[in-house]
Structure 1
Amino acid sequence: MLSARERSDHTGFVDGGFLYVWGGHHSVAGEQVFLPSDEIWVYDMSSGVWSICAMGGEVPPTLSQTCGCCLNGVMYIFGGSTEDSHTNQLYCVNLRDGMFAWRRVTESKGSPPSPRDKHSCWVYADRLIYFGGYGCKQTREVTRSRNFITDEMSWVTTGTTLFRFWGWNNEVHVFNLRTNTWTEPQTHGVPPKPRAAHSTATLGRMGYVCGGLESRLMDIHCLDLEMWTWTEIVPVSAVPVGRTWHTLTASSDSTLFLFGGVNMAGEPLSDGWRFDVQKKEWRELQHPHTDKPRLWHSACLGQDSDVIVFGGSRDYTLVMDTISVLLSPSQSHCSDVLVFQIQPLPLVRLCEDCVGRNARALEEYLSCLPKKIQENLRKRISFFKNDESQGTCHSR
């Protein structure tokens, strides 16, 4: 049966009952290999069936640690690193028209962010709002910026290119989809420290950020996406350990769900936490996937307030590159779908799952039901048959 390739560092979104997975990298003979940018995998969450679709148009290069987001069925990717450089290009593709034709966003007004990777994005009011990341700047940019921390290791790795510095930033850049314009709003309050490989989520008009590289504590901050005011949230409870390459997903109107990542000791994590933004309280969530640590995975909200996690790495080993004196990760990649039930399921979903699990006893009665219900139930029957044959990779 067709199944998406194992991968990490990919982009994944749920739209209209389907999980879309693009890009990333996996291992071939011990080497990290980037997956093609001219294909996208589609997972029907009702039936548990994967399909692969070719992509055309202005196909982006293969990218590492790019930032993806989705709005109204259109996927956008910005930045990332290619085999030999960083980029600040923006691409988009319609996920709903069946054409999967890439378009490079050009002729925009304003100045885009400098090239970067390991950044994040909030989506709000037809705007893509990018935060943080790791990249390079020229000397004059670093001198006048208070939003940039230089990576001292880069002084060694840049060789003779002394006019450029690498490091982390806490900048906020906005791309307005209506006007095709880049802006850098003036923010107020105390911003988070510069960081990369952090996680973000949007709740209403607020953008939340927590964790990441160069941030050893699990701090959490929010940015008002209309007033551009930063606020640090001081939890009233115990907090998760500091981490990076984790995910943060808005799971209700007032809660965020944090999963996985790697701690400062390089240990992969499998814990899940809910943060109540009103009570300012972290609470660890009991779940059935504690034996499946993940980092560099994707996570997104499903149709029934469940969080869908795909892929990622289950281990993390640092390998020293003696030429560039950089630390790089070596990982074992995954291709399973993990579902976290954050809220009680609706009655319709419970009934469909009951039929799906007991298909042998109930399938003969399906013909008595309306065609639309029959279609949904046959997908659920297919889902549980696939689940059984593949060994509960979709367990909840």
Structure 2
Amino acid sequence: MDPAVERHRLELVARERSGHTAVVEDNLLYVWGGYMSVADDEVFLPNDEIWVYDLERGVWEVYHMTGEAPPSMSGTCSCSLNGHMYIFGGCDDNGQTNQIYCVDLTDGKYMWKKIVHEIGSAPSPRDKLSCWVYKGRIIYFGGYGHKQLTDIDSRNRSFIVDEASWVEDVFWGWNNEVHIFDPIKASWSEPQTHGRAPAPRAAHASATIGGRGYICGGRVMETRTIDVHCLDLESWMWSEIIPGSSTPVGRSWHTLTTVSENTLFLFGGLSVDCKPMSDGWLLDVETKNWREVEHPYKNKPRLWHTACPGKDSDVIVFGGSCDYILLVDTGHCNDALVFQMQPYPLFRLCEDYIAKNVRSCEMLKNQLPLLPPKLLTAVEMRMSFYRPSKKQTS
């Protein structure tokens, strides 16, 4: 794998954080929420600011948000759909929530809207869940949260009670429920799934390939797993992917990102022995084989970070913690790590070569004004990405 690119700038950099949410839209990385450490306290990041990272120029900007803003929180589940970022669930100062909000990322106003459903019932409050987007709908899976005793059906195992956490008739625990939200109809529904469902879990990872939703690992009661399950989003049939002999160790708070028509990229997480991880693995869902991959960030373990698909099959990892955050809550990060997962097309290779070398090559510098306007603009943006930071030039 070719060397990836890491940006550290002193001009403006998003605040370090874990448990945040992020999406990529039009080559811009949008980051919202999460929490950081201030002295001995855990502090939620402001709910009225969104950080935007230009993946072409390597520049951060922060924008003020208005409207019906969600509470400041961590562990919410986000996705991008039709130019909007939707978030559901999460944990704020009052505990887990089951509200859904959206914000238009395309109009430059960044105005939050709280969505009130008109049909169906919202899932119970939860955080550390995941979702898939398919045919204009958002499909949520799992998470950790609470239910009333009257809402717990002892005949099925879709909700496992956390024996260490309950108050009178309110019980906390893990679930493996599947819920569908339709933004057009403002409706919630719960499909009847078939096959053997994954065990209830939270802090797992998910990704979508075509009409199939995948989940991997996570916290299942008192252990962390690396099992992989697939849900057919048409037939609602569950199946488990049984891999070959070489597999990653069990983990939670990791990420899973689609990088090709049959390949998923796993990065980081917290292992079964509570070790922050920095390994990267590719899973071929057709052959059902895992393969560990080399990358330049082996010295940068991450957990409760985000990972988003970018241009040319890049994966953009942002933030997270490099420590076991349940014990030492000081290692939150704010760097953006760009993983190259596929060979770049010729245009990208040329663009990057010029941008990297134009300052040191007199011939390139003299020929730069001769480029067609559109190409010149693209190259100048990449030059901004590769320019030395103030720290490097001081």
TM-score when normalising by structure 1: 0.92
Contact preservation (8 Å) 2:140, 2:179: yes
Instruction: Quote the residue 2:356 is aligned against.
Output: 357
Q: What CA RMSD, in Å, does the superposition of the two structures yield over aligned residues?
A: 1.3
Question: Using a 3 Å threshold, how does the CA distance of structure 1 residues 169 and 248 change in structure 2: closer, same or farther?
Answer: same
Asked if structure 1 preserves the Cα contact closer than 8 Å seen for 2:117 and 2:187, the reply is: no
TM-score (norm 2): 0.93
Q: Does 1:31 align with 2:37?
A: no
Does residue 147 of structure 1 match 2:158? yes
Instruction: Give the aligned residue type for 1:336.
Output: D
- 5 Å-filtered alignment, 1:185-224, equals 185-214=191-220, 216-224=224-232
Structure 1 residue 138: Cα displacement: 1.3
**Is 2:164 the counterpart of 1:125?**
no
Instruction: Report the CA distance between 1:359 and its aligned residue.
Output: 1.4
Task: Give, in angstroms, the shift of residue 216 of structure 1.
Answer: 2.9
1:322 aligned residue: none
Structure 2 CA distance for aligned equivalents of residues 366 and 94 of structure 1? 37
Q: 1:48 aligns with which of 35, 50, 58?
A: 58
Q: 1:243 & 1:301 partners in 2: Cα distance?
A: 21
The 10-residue stretch of structure 1 (266-275 or 69-78) with the greater mean CA deviation from structure 2: 69-78
Instruction: Quote the Cα distance in structure 2 between the aligned partners of 1:364 and 1:2.
Output: 31
Stretch of structure 1 that moved more, 26-35 or 204-213:
26-35
Mark the CA change 1:86 to 1:217 in structure 2 (over 3 Å): closer, same or farther.
closer
Identity %: 57
SS of corresponding position for 2:218 = coil
Superposition map of 1:1-396 within 5 A? 1-144=11-154, 145-155=156-166, 158=167, 162-214=168-220, 216-319=224-327, 330-360=329-359, 361=361, 362-386=364-388, 389=390
In the alignment, is the contact (CA less than 8 A) between 2:224 and 2:250 conserved in 1? yes
User: What is the distance in 1 between the residues matched to 2:123 and 2:117?
Assistant: 15
Q: CA 1:59/1:251 → structure 2, altered by over 3 Å: closer, same or farther? A: same
Residue correspondences, number: 376
Amino acid at match of 2:133: V
Shift of 1:42: 0.7
Deviation at 1:372, TM superposition (A): 1.2
Change in CA separation of 1:117 and 1:258 when aligned onto 2, cut-off 3 Å: same
1:138-170 Cα shifts (integer Å, max 9, x gaps) = 112213442011101014xx2xxx111110000
Answer 1 or 2: higher relative contact order, Cα 8 Å, separation at least 6: 2
Supply the distance in 2 between the matched residues of 1:226 and 1:245 (Cα, whole angstroms): 28
CA deviations 1:180-236 (Å, max 9, x no partner) are 210000000000000000000000000000111115331000000111000011012
**Alpha-carbon contact 2:117-2:188 (below 8 Å) kept:** no
In structure 1, C-alpha distance between the alignment counterparts of 2:320 and 2:119, rounded to whole Å: 36
Taking a change above 3 Å as real, the CA distance of residues 116 and 51 of structure 1, as seen in their structure-2 partners, is same
Q: Is the 8 A contact 2:218 2:253 kept in 1?
A: yes
Question: How far, CA to CA, are the matches of 1:163 and 1:8 in structure 2?
Answer: 31
Aligned to 2:4: none
> Cα distance, 1:363 vs. partner?
2.7
Following TM superposition, by how much is the alpha carbon of 1:265 offset from its aligned partner in structure 2, in angstroms? Answer: 1.3
Cα distance per residue 1:293-316 (max 9 Å; x no partner): 000111011111110101111111
Higher strand fraction (1 or 2): 2
Structure 2 CA distance, aligned partners of 1:153 and 1:61? 27
Moved over 6 A (4+): none
Range with greater deviation from structure 2 (276-285 or 24-33): 24-33
Output the amino acid matched with 1:12: A
Mapped contact 1:309–1:338 kept (Cα < 8 A): yes
Structure 1 position 283, deviation (Å) = 0.2
Question: Residue type of the partner of 2:160?
Answer: I
Paired AA for residue 271 in structure 1? D
Q: Find the residue that maps to 1:218 and give its secondary structure.
A: strand
Distance 2:245 2:150 in 1: 43
Kindly state the Cα deviation for residue 179 of structure 1 after the two structures are TM-superposed. Answer: 1.7
Cα distance in 2 for residues equivalent to 1:153 and 1:369: 65
CA distance in 2, matches of 1:242, 1:154: 24
Gaps in structure 2 of 5+ consecutive residues = 1-10
Distance 1:107 1:25 in 2: 28
* Cα distance in 1 between the residues matched to 2:225 and 2:202: 14
TM-superposed CA distance for 1:31, in Å, is 1.8
Distance 2:384 2:365 in 1: 12
Gaps of 5+ in 1: 320-328, 392-396
Amino acid at match of 1:279: T
User: Please, which moves more after superposition, 372-381 or 144-153?
Assistant: 144-153
Letter in 2 for 1:303: K
Structure 1 residue 318, shift from structure 2 partner: 3.4
SS of 1:33's equivalent?
Answer: strand
Deviates more, 1:272-281 or 1:79-88: 79-88
* Contact 1:169–1:195 (Cα < 8 Å) also in 2: yes
Contact 1:48 1:383 in 2 (8 A): yes
In the TM superposition, residue 30 of structure 1 has moved relative to its aligned partner by 3.0
In structure 2, the CA distance between the partners of 1:91 and 1:318, relative to structure 1 (3 Å rule), is: closer
